[in-house]
Chain A
């Protein structure tokens, strides 16, 4: 045991937890009634993942991104994706300019992607050409133009939104691009109490300024601590079994998966789930990842990665229902006890 790596000490973890708690509190203060969503978005950011927000217009997607940028003191750009948006409009382009010496040369003019947080609003309205231009930026966090690769600022997050209605004239995101999003988060409407508070406290919809902001050091410290959150082997095994069981031909796949899933999730989903579970443990102030962390992030990680078949459409079954069945039926521990024997909390 003495040779084994030590966990984070409480003294090391507690400041990070305090920072995350502060961030969440500031987000909750600025955006009302979105506590669980704020936690999920922060989890995604700590995992260095990109987030796809799906919800109706006017629910506060842009406000959320703007608030995060303010609290984390990160650069923030917003691009409204339209069908005539070209890749150069996002990535940047070379412009012929005359230098002081009178010569002319191609000068690179960075696009809005060169920022820390990019809000790609209504991303599914852009043409596939422009959507595919996002692939490298999201995966490699770099932009290559004219043979030259340029690193994006760190950290770099894409928070995209798409509208579930008004599907005419849209280009559904290809699976390869969907797979690059860590989470797909459903942006639901808030309840009447929250709406009442918004109406009374937010004249003109103005967002209050955060009264606390995280510094770059705080953010770096969070990322450092994230690297040391420990993932036990049984939990890693559970993540692996969970992802494997999304494939209909897998032995542990539940009946709903066999019936409704055409293709299961990729290994990238397993990696994403491990990272997201670590971030969830950090938010809870724990140095280790437990099964409950996996359960908390499993649905947002996998719901956009499952490809359902036509039978699911006919039966009006969505990915969340399939994942609910999967999480209920797959035992976390893999303990093969007889069906009439169960463990109960003392």
Chain B
């Protein structure tokens, strides 16, 4: 065996080790980046397992094994390494020749061969690995809340959800929604709240808006029904109170009976429309109203006590409707202008006294009497109260979207260059035409500083003329413009 061989083998091992080290370090940077991403992903979605570091070490050991295998497969040709060993030692071909011929007689003379060093410029690889390590440690130590904030930033909708819950409660308590419908809406609302994400807020906002819109539609429809019922109840109540105020004389009996008949028709109509809800009344009132309705249905008038109880029942139903409107308005389910139409008291604030007088004097149809009384008895309320045929309702302002200004063609103006010279005077121009002329034109109402209809520019060549005008004899202006 040649004495060169041991040194050569050491050199081959050194090159191989360097190549493995190089691969491991470069791959470690990539491995740390991937591991950091995996750790972040796990921490975003769940918790790291307790023995996560075992998996980490195992995967790194696998990486080292793969690097070793790969570099073993790519190991440089031993002949080339021998040649490199020869060159680095300036052996003059002796090391190379030792693989082919007997060189032992020369080996003693060549002396000991030094192992060349294998150098790798590893600065960039180390920098990459350190950066990857910093990323991995950051991924490992980043507080979970920040991690999850990064993954799925929350969307603050708790107030909106609470408001919608209250709206649904109101709609359910007022029997606008059935319990099943209310439960369905609550489930949908909970699902929206659960799926709310800051990454896609528009989706959540759109769903909440849709739910709110549905609630408002249902509430508004119910409020409009309630308003018509309230008006009918008000009319019935007004008629009942007028009947109550009729003097109890024989000559008034006919008017009273006629009024009762019309009250009966109103009550029946209210009953058919469902405006009279016996369930909303105390038991004694329920009983009294049932009796009164029965008698009215049979054409028999109630007595004074029954009429009083009937009126009380009507007021109770009115209160119920007002309470409904108030609650809907409080939860923002109906617009304020609609809520404002729900007013307590008699129909449009009418006083039943004049109606009683009319009944006593003329009898007749209740609606016609109301029309007669309308102009006289109105005015105790505001603009939208009273018996006016066209109440003033102020709705939302009309949208400006799509609106266009009407184009207006302006009149022709004559440029200064095209003006005709009428004459040259050395004094101020004389105004003719009197006040009629002076009172017309664009400058009629013009004020100082308000601009001019025709601003003729004064050019530098006009300076002399302007100066001459102000310095003409007989005129002594306070100052001469320069």
Contact = CB atoms under 8 A, between A and B. Distances in A.
A7 B84 contact: no
Interface stretch (A18-26, A89-97, A256-264, A334-342): A334-342
A122 interface: no
23 contacts: A1-B2, A1-B102, A7-B106, A10-B105, A230-B100, A281-B93, A286-B92, A287-B94, A287-B106, A288-B96, A289-B93, A290-B86, A290-B87, A290-B92, A291-B83, A293-B93, A333-B81, A336-B80, A337-B15, A337-B76, A341-B120, A343-B117, A343-B118
Interface in A316-346: 332-338, 340-346
A121 to B, nearest CB: 37
Nearest to A345: B88
Interface of A: 1-2, 4-7, 9-10, 230-235, 281, 284, 286-293, 332-338, 340-346
A230 B18 contact: no
Interface of B: 2, 15, 18-19, 22, 76-77, 79-84, 86-94, 96-97, 99-103, 105-106, 109, 114-122
A338 B92 CA distance: 25
Contacts of A281: 92-93
A293 B97 CA distance: 14
A284 B82 CA distance: 22
A342 B116 CA distance: 10
Q: Which 4 pairs across A and B sit closest by C-beta, in order of nearness?
A: A288-B93, A232-B96, A290-B93, A290-B92
A333 B80 contact: yes
Nearest to A337: B76
Contacts of B96: 232-235, 288, 290
Contacts of A341: 18-19, 22, 118-121
A111 to B, nearest CB: 42
Nearest to B102: A6
Given A292-B90, A340-B121, A4 B80 contact: no
Contact of A7 (B18, B86, B91, B97): B97
Contact of A233 (B84, B88, B100, B121): B100
Contacts of B87: 290-291, 332-333
B22 A338 contact: yes
Contacts of A233: 79, 96, 100
Given A344-B117, A345-B114, A345-B116, A7 B80 contact: no
Contacts of B2: 1
Contacts of A235: 83, 93, 96
B407 to A, nearest CB: 73
A342 B117 CA distance: 8
A59 B18 CA distance: 54
A251 to B, nearest CB: 17
A234 B106 contact: no
Nearest to A340: B121
Q: Which of A284, A293, A333 gathers the greatest number of chain B CB atoms within 10 Å? A: A333
A286 B102 contact: no
A346 B100 contact: no
A232 B120 contact: no
Given A230-B97, A234-B79, A341-B22, A2 B116 contact: no
A5 B101 contact: yes
Contacts of B18: 341
A4 B119 contact: no
A7 B103 contact: yes
